[in-house]
């Protein structure tokens, strides 16, 4: 199975900050990497698909990059609604593994 490792596991930041979350795959997954946001008590919501494609309706302050084994999610200027948990997921091959999550908290 492909292991997905996110860092950091948690992060404290302020409104307006630029934040980067990284995700590393245990083997190459090309660009088959998605990012999801999950707010407390809610279902996950896709932000970025295929490493760098912004899902329709998602604010442009979110961006993704990477290929192969190393990927990043960047939020250019944090807004209050962005404080949530973020997950990466590979869909290169089953099982479609998720990273352990990054909890983004208000400083």
* Contact of 51 with 31, CB cutoff 8 Å: yes
Residue 15 Cβ, how far from another protein at the closest point, in Å? 26
Applying CB under 8 A, the span of 14-22, 61-69, 71-79, 97-105 interacting with another protein comes to 97-105
CB 7 within 8 A of CB 88: no
On the 0-12 / 13-18 / 19+ scale of CB atoms within 10 A, 60 is exposed
Residue 10 in contact with another protein, rule: CB under 8 A: no
Near another protein by CB under 8 A: residue from 11, 20, 52, 101: 101
Question: In this complex, which beta carbon is closest to another protein, that of residue 62 or of residue 87?
Answer: 87
């Amino acid at each position: 199975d492909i292991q997905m490792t996110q860092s950091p596991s948690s992060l404290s930041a302020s409104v307006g900050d630029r934040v980067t979350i990284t995700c590393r795959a245990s083997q190459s997954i090309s660009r088959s990497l998605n990012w999801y946001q999950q707010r407390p008590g809610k279902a996950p919501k896709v932000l970025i698909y295929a490493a760098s494609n912004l899902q329709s309706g998602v604010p442009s302050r979110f961006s993704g990059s990477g290929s192969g084994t190393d990927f990043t999610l960047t939020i250019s200027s944090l807004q209050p609604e962005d404080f949530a948990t973020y997950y990466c997921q590979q869909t290169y091959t089953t099982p479609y593994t998720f990273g352990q999550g990054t909890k983004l908290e208000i400083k």
